[in-house]
């Protein structure tokens, strides 16, 4: 059996539209995940015990269960409790961002803890509060250090977002499945889908490498 | 100015400070010497509660350090210079110096920068405001750190081995700045291995060993006429 190029080409517009949806949920989820992760990451190391415990439970639960199961829980199980039917888009964003938030939290925690203790001491000795020292001194330095692992997380999430196809959300993978159901072109379509994912992930990793290089020049140690 | 009463500090099973009583008067320069691990840095760090004493009280300028608010108030009045400078590497020299006055005291940017530039001139770095710490030598970084602490107009300055991380040729430029500060009447507590500085600038020298102030006296009493065996053997090793 040979590769049907015409089929691949004709499927492209639909697949690219799916890719756009993939980019959209990934970007939204990463954005929300970074916000969640920043707060949870700081909670992990703050001096309030209850926040430390809650954030540790959050991270353990979300990293210790499969994303697929989390998607099912949010899409099928939450409506059972609340009685509200979930929109697939909302369910997709919610599950991806709270999942990503757990990984990002660990990235931020490690980033913050990698900053020399003397920085916090210097800030506090000047009369700055813990919060001010975090905001102006620790987090800006930690941010530069976490760019590479955040980039990895971005790439991982972009690929993992294919899992939301199981709730019928039409991103790239789901689009591919639907086209195959119609045309039986497994070889052509899955090849195209793989290539589109590859192009997106390579773009992100180049972008991250660029940011890293630019930051290295920015005076900081 | 500073009153320490019955200060104890342990880390787990290890006792670092073992009952310290100390009074520092206004405009006095107290130099703390002693072998490494004797607790002299911990003693200094208890004054602004970078270390929380296990027992005992610290009072600075009439304020007892017993609450978060009091501790922050005292820290704003007490400048500290660290062995490893601890400048903020992501900020320019000027931003390093203006941050705390602006955020803690609410000083305007213009005024903070004016003060910062004056202080930089005073420590001999008038033209380096735009540089990043990594572009400066160790001695220059430490002088910026001193300027940063002075920008809060502190009543007291604490120095924690300020020249120990410096190349030998840079020690002097930092000591000179400290000497000038002492001559201007700053209340200072200095932990150092620079015996020349202790003798020349110190009003009073404390010899700390095993978490206690073993001997205290004028520089002459300590260096010219030491009586205690521990002090004698320490001095014979460092002088």
Residues B178-198 have pLDDT tens digits of 999 999 999 999 999 999 999
Residues B205-217 have pLDDT tens digits of 999 999 999 999 9
How many CA atoms does the CB half-sphere of A174 hold within 13 Å?
19
* Alpha-carbon span A133 to A114, nearest angstrom: 15
- Cβ partners under 8 Å of residue A190, min gap 6: A176, A180
DSSP letter for each residue of B16-62: EEEEEEEEE-TT-EEEEE--TTSSHHHHHHHHTTSS--SEEEEEETT
- Identify all chain B residues contacting A220, using CB atoms and an 8 Å cutoff: 89-90, 132, 134
User: What local confidence, expressed as pLDDT, does residue B11 receive?
Assistant: 92
Residue B88 · residue B96 · CB < 8 Å: yes
Give which of A191, A209, A71 is closest to A152, Cα–Cα.
Answer: A209
Interface of A with B (CB under 8 A): 116, 118-119, 121-129, 132, 136-137, 140-141, 144, 218-221
Shortest Cα distance, chain B CAs vs residue A46, angstroms:
15
Distance of CA A121 to the CA centre of its chain: 33
User: What local confidence, expressed as pLDDT, does residue A205 receive?
Assistant: 93
Neighbours of A21 (CB within 10 A): 19
Contact A127 B79 (CB under 8 A): no
Q: Which pairing describes strands B2-11 and B55-60: parallel, antiparallel, or unpaired? A: antiparallel
User: What local confidence, expressed as pLDDT, does residue A220 receive?
Assistant: 47
Measured CA distances, B176 to B26, B124, B183 (Å): 21, 11, 11
Shortest Cα distance, chain A CAs vs residue B228, angstroms:
35
* Alpha-carbon span B144 to B136, nearest angstrom: 9
Measured CA distances, B10 to A118, A138, B47 (Å): 20, 28, 16
Residues B38-75 have pLDDT tens digits of 999 999 999 999 999 999 999 999 999 999 899 999 99
Question: Which class is B2-238 in CATH?
Answer: alpha beta
Give the domain ranges of chain A: 5-220
Give which of A108, A101, A95 is closest to A30, Cα–Cα.
Answer: A101
Question: Hey, is A173 helix, strand or coil?
Answer: helix
Rounded mean pLDDT of A45-64?
95
CB nearest to B48's CB, from A125, A141, A219: A125
Chain B CA closest to residue A141: B90
At residue A47 the predicted structure's pLDDT band, cuts being 50, 70 and 90, is confident
Residue B24 · residue B189 · CB < 8 Å: yes
Chain B CA closest to residue A215: B90
User: Rounded to 10 degrees, what is the CA torsion of B234, B161, B155, B129?
Assistant: 160
Contact B103 A128 (CB under 8 A): yes
Chain B CA closest to residue A122: B86
At residue A138 the predicted structure's pLDDT band, cuts being 50, 70 and 90, is very high
CB nearest to B82's CB, from A118, A137, A219: A118
Buried b (16+ CB within 10 A) or exposed e, B103-137: bbeebeeeebbebbbebbebbebeebbebbbeebe
Residue B210 · residue B39 · CB < 8 Å: yes
Give which of A103, A128, A89, A85 is closest to A38, Cα–Cα.
Answer: A103
Residue A8 is classified by DSSP as H
DSSP letter for each residue of B131-164: S-GGGS-HHHHHHHHHHHHHTT--SEEEEESTTT
Rounded mean pLDDT of A155-173?
93
User: What secondary structure, in 3-state letters, does A93-141 show?
Assistant: HHHHHHHHHHHHHHHHHHHHHCCCHHHHHHHHHCCCCHHHHHHHHHHHH
User: What local confidence, expressed as pLDDT, does residue A217 receive?
Assistant: 61
Residues B87-135 have pLDDT tens digits of 999 999 999 999 999 999 999 999 999 999 999 999 999 999 999 999 9
| Contacts across the A-B interface (CB distance below 8 Å) | 73
Contact B72 A136 (CB under 8 A): no
Residue A143 · residue B116 · CB < 8 Å: no
Interface of B with A (CB under 8 A): 48, 50, 72-73, 75-80, 82, 84, 86-90, 92, 99-100, 103-104, 132-135, 145, 148-149, 152
Q: Is the pLDDT of residue A1 over 70?
A: no
Contact B89 A141 (CB under 8 A): yes
User: What local confidence, expressed as pLDDT, does residue A218 receive?
Assistant: 54
User: What local confidence, expressed as pLDDT, does residue A74 receive?
Assistant: 93
Radius of gyration of chain B (CA): 18
Neighbours of B221 (CB within 10 A): 14
Shortest Cα distance, chain A CAs vs residue B58, angstroms:
15
Contact A126 B48 (CB under 8 A): no
Measured CA distances, B13 to A56, B8, B106 (Å): 29, 13, 43
User: What local confidence, expressed as pLDDT, does residue A3 receive?
Assistant: 87
Contact A126 B148 (CB under 8 A): yes
CB nearest to A141's CB, from B77, B86, B90: B90
Q: Is the pLDDT of residue A221 over 80?
A: no
Rounded mean pLDDT of B26-43?
94
CB nearest to A127's CB, from B92, B134, B152: B152
Residue ranges of alpha helices (H) inside chain A are 5-45, 49-64, 67-72, 78-82, 88-113, 117-125, 130-133, 139-160, 172-183, 186-216
Q: Is the pLDDT of residue A216 over 80?
A: no
Residue A7 · residue A185 · CB < 8 Å: yes
* Alpha-carbon span B114 to B132, nearest angstrom: 19
CB nearest to A118's CB, from B72, B86, B104: B86
- Identify all chain B residues contacting A121, using CB atoms and an 8 Å cutoff: 50, 82, 86
- Cβ partners under 8 Å of residue A6, min gap 6: none
Contact A128 B100 (CB under 8 A): yes
At residue A187 the predicted structure's pLDDT band, cuts being 50, 70 and 90, is very high
Mean of per-residue pLDDT scores for chain B: 94
* Alpha-carbon span B31 to B158, nearest angstrom: 10
Best mutation target, A111, A120, A123, A127, to test chain B (most B CBs within 10 A): A127
User: What local confidence, expressed as pLDDT, does residue B143 receive?
Assistant: 96
Contact B90 A219 (CB under 8 A): yes
> Any idea which architecture A5-220 has in CATH?
Orthogonal Bundle (1.10)
């Amino acid at each position: 059996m040979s590769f049907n190029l015409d089929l691949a080409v004709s499927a492209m517009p639909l697949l690219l539209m799916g890719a756009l949806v993939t980019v959209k949920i990934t970007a939204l989820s990463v954005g929300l995940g970074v916000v969640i992760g920043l707060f949870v990451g700081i909670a992990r190391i703050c001096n309030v015990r209850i926040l430390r415990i809650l954030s540790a439970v959050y991270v353990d639960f979300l990293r210790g269960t499969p994303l697929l199961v989390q998607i099912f829980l949010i899409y099928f199980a939450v409506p059972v409790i609340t009685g509200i039917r979930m929109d697939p888009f909302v369910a997709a964003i919610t599950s991806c961002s709270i999942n990503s938030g757990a990984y990002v939290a660990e990235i931020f925690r490690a980033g913050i803890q990698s900053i020399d203790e003397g920085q916090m001491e210097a800030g506090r000795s000047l009369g700055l509060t813990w919060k001010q020292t975090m905001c102006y001194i620790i987090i800006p330095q930690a941010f530069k250090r976490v760019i590479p692992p955040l980039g990895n997380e971005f790439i991982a999430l972009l690929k993992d977002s294919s899992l939301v196809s199981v709730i019928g959300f039409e991103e790239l993978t789901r689009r591919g499945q639907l086209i195959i159901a119609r045309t039986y072109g497994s070889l052509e379509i899955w090849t195209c889908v793989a290539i589109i994912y590859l192009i997106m992930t390579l773009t992100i990793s180049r972008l991250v490498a660029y940011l890293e290089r630019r930051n290295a020049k920015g005076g900081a140690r | 100015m500073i009153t320490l009463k019955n200060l104890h500090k342990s880390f787990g099973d290890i006792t670092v400070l073992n009952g310290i009583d100390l009074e520092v008067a206004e405009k006095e320069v107290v130099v703390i010497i002693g072998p490494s691990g004797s607790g002299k840095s911990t003693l200094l760090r208890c004054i602004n509660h970078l270390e929380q004493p296990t027992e005992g009280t610290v009072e600075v300028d009439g304020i007892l350090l017993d609450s978060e608010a009091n501790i922050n108030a005292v820290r704003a009045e007490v400048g500290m210079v660290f062995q490893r400078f601890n400048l903020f590497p992501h900020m320019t020299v000027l931003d390093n110096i203006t941050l705390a006055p602006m955020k803690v005291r609410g000083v305007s940017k213009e005024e903070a920068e004016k003060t910062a530039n004056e202080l930089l001139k005073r420590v001999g770095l008038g033209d380096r405001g735009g540089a990043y710490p990594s572009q400066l030598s160790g001695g220059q970084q430490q002088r910026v750190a001193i300027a940063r602490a002075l920008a809060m107009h502190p009543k007291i300055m604490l120095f924690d081995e300020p020249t120990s991380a410096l190349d030998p040729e840079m020690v002097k430029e930092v000591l000179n700045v400290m000497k000038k500060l002492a001559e201007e009447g700053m209340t200072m507590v200095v932990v150092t291995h620079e015996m020349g500085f202790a003798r020349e600038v110190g009003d009073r020298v404390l010899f700390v060993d095993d978490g206690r102030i073993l001997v205290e006296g004028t520089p002459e009493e300590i260096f010219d006429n030491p009586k205690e065996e521990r002090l004698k053997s320490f001095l014979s090793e460092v002088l």
